[in-house]
Amino acid sequence: MDRILEFFEQLDEMVYAADMETHELVYMNRHLRESLGYQTHEEYVGKKCYEVLQGSDIPCVFCTNHALEMGKFISWVHKNPVLGKRYLIKDSVFQHEGRRYRIEMAIDVDSHITSTAPYYYARTETILNECLQRVLGSMDPVHALERVLSYLGETFRCDRVYVFEIEEGGELVDNTYEWCRKGVSPQKDLLQKLAVSSIGWWMPIFEENQVLVIEDLEALKEKEPVTYAILKPQNISSLAAGPIRVGGHVVGFLGADNPDPHMVGMLTPLLNVVGYFIATLLRRRDLLHRLNLLSFRDPLTEAFNRNAMFEHSKQRQNARSVGVIYCDITGLKQTNDALGHSAGDQLIQHCYALLRETLPTRWIYRTGGDEFVALFWDGTEEEFQGYLRSLHSRIQQDEHHMAVGYAWSEEGQVNLETLISRADKVMYQDKRDYYTANYMVPGVDRRRSARLIQQEPQKTCSLFQEFLKQINFDAESLFRSFSQDNSSSYFYFGDMQKDLFYISDNMREDFGFQSNIVSGLFSVWAQRITTPEFRDLYWQDVSGMLREGRCVHDLRYQVRDVHGHNQWIRCYGLLKWSEDGSKPLFFSGRIAHQDKDFVIDPITNLPREHTAFMQLHELVEKGEETLIIGFSLNSISEINSTKGRAYADHLLRRIADTLVERLSWKMTFYRLEGMRCMAVVNPLCCAEGREELVGQIRDIVRECYEGMGISVQSICSFGLMEYPYHNFAPEDLVETLISLIRVAKQEAVPNYVDYSVQNIARVKEMSNMALALSQDVLHGMQHFRIVVQPVVSAKDGNAIGGEVLLRWTFQGKMISPAIFIPILEQENMIHLVGRWVFEQAVCTCVRIHAHNPAFYLTFNVSLHQLSDDYFLDFMRETLEKYHLNGSNLVAELTESCLDEEPEKLQFFVSECQKMGMRIALDDFGSGYSSLRMLLQYPSSIIKLDRSLVREVTESDEKMNFIRSIVYACHQFGKTVCMEGVESSDQNSIIRDTGCDMIQGYYYYRPMEVEDVYRLISNRPEQEA
């Protein structure tokens, strides 16, 4: 070998030889040794060629060993990273003593020659071929796409290679796929729903089918501050990105972070071509997704369907354990009938979202119109019971109800259908219990179930039959003893095969039957049911009982008696079947007027709305006119969650008792659904005036709240109607009244909302708004965004921090938080929104720090968020996810929050401090106990209420008062921020008070996040 290699020793070109199997160097000529700083052969022999020549710790991805042949040369151009020059490379192979060696010669050439060298094009073609092989080499488009990203990342030595896709509508863009070099932190989860406007200057480049190259990110810091703020936290110094186009439109882009600078010239043209490969894979992915939705997904919710459930269960036949949770949506049919199928679809989507958020399993299936099944594989029963408790708790907090059944098995080889059937039985009982406890009427027991009474073949006489044989039994006397002088229950029995029944005397008299013997009782009775809806429920249950072989009939509905009055009744019956279960033989039962709890609310002891219908009918019959006042008792749900249900129930009883005690001679009170009540005014008292009557109710309710130490800003919300009104039935009146109450509550109307064309239009608008709000939250916070109002230093007016504020757009218009926040609270969506706002604050803070690491952001914490058991864990996880120190964030608390929840607040503050966060006390000075709060809670920042700013210009006394507050805060070591500064005069006076920071329109209104980046990029960094 020495004689072979001596030939190259004195050449001016660089030459080396290396073992092709081990990559170990065996020779470098003089020129190469000197260029690399080696004096002798011993210094390099045995070292890896890629380490010495390329500065790499892995074999070169562009190595040509696989293509080398004896007696032939391969020529190509490469810029060496160690020597920093471009070379024309000639490779070949020779053999010595049975081993193969690579020999390579490098000739220094200029950049023009390099760019036109034949191998440059050959190398590009090789890379494209490799990409194409990966595109076509897998049936799974996502797997193929990930292989392409990996190949590009390794070939061009990038930190990240990724795909972004533009959402429908063109306003947002998401990082959907990424490859990361070992040691590089993934960024995909942090780069969701970015505003396309934040990279707006990229889009014209992509539209021209050009590749964007950022050679030095720092050069963009002032020119493109928004882009810089997004890219800098990702440790990006350079990048290249090319468009992904479908049908002539840009649908996303393919990008590479920090590629090898020597290979950027080759990468940029490749991105355009590979972008077409990626577009093909994305189209294949979307097609497969649509096919999957059709076969294994429910198209409405995108939950798995029944087919998917049994297909998945086949793959789990060896599972150690399985838990089943079976859920049934309560009242879906009534929602469809009353509000339309669109509202029913939204209810289904809402319930699926609730299950998905609450249950930690991806195996949730929609198995029927109103049914969902969730499966838990290979867990413990203790964990399963914990999930079940969480679900029950979440449903109790939600506006809508689902009945829940469950089953658990560790037997192995479980028949899933059997387990679901067991869960179904538990669910059915849960639904019965719910309807009984809540006095619901429609469809109580109309669903199919397992037989509640199992019919077993009677081998011998029962104890009852044996007893009858031993006595002088008279069936007629027994039947009459049940029914005589009985005004609350009616009895019947009959032969199902002959369709002939006998009814009690009181049933015959009260419902106008001609005889005690009735042929076709089912049909004749159905004619006395008041509405088509109730008749449908009745026939559904009867036909279901006969079709499914059930033994029990149990239903609540309204019937019309002989006098034409509507009566709420409960009809209960037992059906006896033949021994083989094929024929119904005997049916008997009773019909009862609804019990007291159905008519009287057991908590307040007020009559329920059904009783009110009778009084309203009497008013119409007498030709009298009156006022109907509806009102809600506000903040009861908060009192429930903070002080307990027993405490809230005591408050409700106290309010009801006081109202009846003082006003019963003027009004009759009724309990409506939820925390709403209705007062029917005595027609003789209407002359007192609407405001006076409403005021009397409000004063009593306020007195009861305050008597139990509860401070609420808005005690009641009132709706008012005259009755009779046009052709309104009592049921229509109550429904409209509830809508008026809702408008009054959401818009914080000071007195009441009455029935008018404008208010009814507002009712419809608010209903649409509530539906849209729910949809937007469940669809990833669509139409929500945050804005930031900067806080400035009182010394120089420079922005040093900002308050994060939530904004929502409905039908193209900005909606005030004072309107949509109460809806979110009422719909139990405020926890989800609160977490989203916190994550947005963290993400924004990270990006702001690209320009100013000292800038801080504050986020508001409400009373509702303190009751979110998962909020603190979410905060910790989010800070870790974004790698942000908690010291850059401040949690703002209001005085009302401090007063209402002292224990929970203490714990929250303590946990925030452990995360490094500071605490700000908002609206300081608006409450009676402000100074006490300085000592009680460890806040760092005190934000003085804007009402103090309005007063500061009134007199020297007010000025001195504010100075004293600032002085007191400083004595306690607090930083003081003055809110609501809007004029030059206010600003001058406030700065003289000694406060540290100022927030208000005089300096900045709330700004879009991108504008905040621009603002800070033009300001010198300040210490907070």
Mean pLDDT of 511-524: 90
End-to-end CA gap in the chain = 71
pLDDT band of 925, cuts 50, 70, 90:
low
125-295, what's its fold? Beta-Lactamase (3.30.450)
Least confidently predicted of 35-49, 533-547, 996-1010: 533-547
3 state SS of 212: strand
Residue 317 has pLDDT above 60, yes or no: yes
As a whole number of angstroms, the distance between CA 45 and CA 39 comes to 12
The pLDDT value given to residue 225? 94
Identify which has the larger pLDDT, 38 or 1020. 38
Which CATH superfamily hosts domain 2-116? PAS domain (3.30.450.20)
As a whole number of angstroms, the distance between CA 700 and CA 702 comes to 5
Could you give the percent of the chain with pLDDT greater than 70?
Answer: 87
3 state SS of 656: helix
Q: Say which DSSP state 982 is in.
A: -
Residue 233 has pLDDT above 90, yes or no: yes
Residue 452 has pLDDT above 50, yes or no: no
The pLDDT value given to residue 1021? 45
The pLDDT value given to residue 116? 44
Residues of the chain with CATH 3.30.70.270: 304-438, 600-755
Q: Say which DSSP state 606 is in.
A: P
The pLDDT value given to residue 992? 86
The pLDDT value given to residue 383? 83
Strands 889-894 and 1007-1008, sheet pairing: unpaired
Beta carbons within 8 Å of 498's beta carbon, 6+ residues apart: none
Residues of the chain with CATH 3.20.20.450: 782-1017
pLDDT band of 436, cuts 50, 70, 90:
low
Identify which has the larger pLDDT, 903 or 190. 190
As a whole number of angstroms, the distance between CA 530 and CA 567 comes to 9
pLDDT band of 133, cuts 50, 70, 90:
confident
Strands 566-577 and 194-195, sheet pairing: unpaired
The pLDDT value given to residue 860? 92
Instruction: State residue 782 phi and psi, 5-degree precision.
Output: -60, 145
User: Which listed CATH number (3.40.50.1820, 3.20.20.450, 3.40.220.10, 3.60.40.10) goes with 782-1017?
Assistant: 3.20.20.450
3 state SS of 48: strand
Q: Say which DSSP state 673 is in.
A: S
Give CA 994 to chain center in angstroms: 44
The pLDDT value given to residue 412? 66
Concatenated DSSP letters of 295-316: HHB-TTT--EEHHHHHHHHHTT
Residue 119 has pLDDT above 70, yes or no: no
Residue 930 has pLDDT above 60, yes or no: no
Q: Say which DSSP state 67 is in.
A: G
The pLDDT value given to residue 623? 86
Mean pLDDT of 393-416: 83
User: By CB neighbour count within 10 A (0-12 exposed, 13-18 middle, 19+ buried), where does 810 fall?
Assistant: middle
240 neighbors 261 (Cβ within 8 angstroms): no
- pLDDT tens digits, residue range 797-835? 999 999 999 999 998 889 888 788 878 887 778 889 999
Closest CA to 241 of 205, 216, 283, 281: 205
The pLDDT value given to residue 824? 86
pLDDT band of 688, cuts 50, 70, 90:
very high
Computed over every residue of the chain, the mean pLDDT equals 84
pLDDT band of 443, cuts 50, 70, 90:
very low
- The angle that helices 757-778 and 730-746 make with each other, rounded to 10 degrees, is 70
Least confidently predicted of 32-46, 203-217, 961-975: 961-975
As a whole number of angstroms, the distance between CA 417 and CA 453 comes to 22
* Token couple for 172: 């947002």
Residues of the chain with CATH 3.30.450.20: 2-116, 487-593
As a whole number of angstroms, the distance between CA 281 and CA 273 comes to 13
The pLDDT value given to residue 6? 67
Mean pLDDT of 463-474: 65
Runs of H (alpha helix) within 972-1004: 984-991
- CA-to-CA dists, residue 86 to 29, 77, 82, 110, 116, angstroms: 19, 7, 11, 7, 12
Could you give the percent of the chain with pLDDT greater than 90?
Answer: 38
Runs of H (alpha helix) within 747-867: 757-778, 817-826, 830-848, 863-866
- pLDDT tens digits, residue range 646-683? 788 889 989 998 998 899 889 999 998 778 999 999 99
- pLDDT tens digits, residue range 272-312? 889 988 998 998 898 887 777 677 888 899 899 988 888 88
As a whole number of angstroms, the distance between CA 826 and CA 1005 comes to 29
User: In one letter, which amino acid is 693?
Assistant: L
As a whole number of angstroms, the distance between CA 649 and CA 639 comes to 10
Strand partners of residue 751: none
Residues of the chain with CATH 3.30.450.40: 125-295
* Token couple for 926: 């608006």
User: By CB neighbour count within 10 A (0-12 exposed, 13-18 middle, 19+ buried), where does 325 fall?
Assistant: buried
- pLDDT tens digits, residue range 606-641? 888 877 887 888 888 888 899 999 999 988 877 775
Closest CA to 939 of 898, 980, 967: 898
Identify which has the larger pLDDT, 164 or 901. 164
410 neighbors 337 (Cβ within 8 angstroms): no
pLDDT band of 445, cuts 50, 70, 90:
very low
The answer to whether domain 600-755 has CATH 3.30.70.270 is yes
The answer to whether domain 487-593 has CATH 3.30.450.20 is yes
Closest CA to 166 of 236, 254, 228, 235: 254
230-239, 265-274, 560-569, 711-720 — most confident range: 230-239
Strand partners of residue 161: 179, 256
Closest CA to 830 of 637, 972, 670: 637
Residues 229, 234, 240, 242: what is their CA dihedral angle, to the nearest 10 degrees? -80
Least confidently predicted of 455-464, 951-960, 997-1006: 455-464
Residues across the chain = 1024
624 neighbors 598 (Cβ within 8 angstroms): no
Concatenated DSSP letters of 399-462: SS-EEEEEEEE-SSS--HHHHHHHHHHHHHHHHHHHHHHHT--TTTT-S--S-SS-----SS--
As a whole number of angstroms, the distance between CA 1024 and CA 1019 comes to 14
User: In one letter, which amino acid is 331?
Assistant: G
304-438, what's its fold? Alpha-Beta Plaits (3.30.70)
Strand partners of residue 241: 212, 255
Mean pLDDT of 411-428: 83
How many other C-beta atoms can be found within 10 angstroms of the C-beta atom of residue 768? 12
3 state SS of 954: coil
Mean pLDDT of 523-547: 84
75-79, 97-101, 354-358, 848-852 — most confident range: 848-852
Least confidently predicted of 363-367, 544-548, 824-828, 1017-1021: 1017-1021
- pLDDT tens digits, residue range 713-759? 788 999 999 998 877 888 888 888 888 888 887 766 668 888 876 77
Closest CA to 28 of 362, 20, 40: 40
pLDDT band of 988, cuts 50, 70, 90:
confident
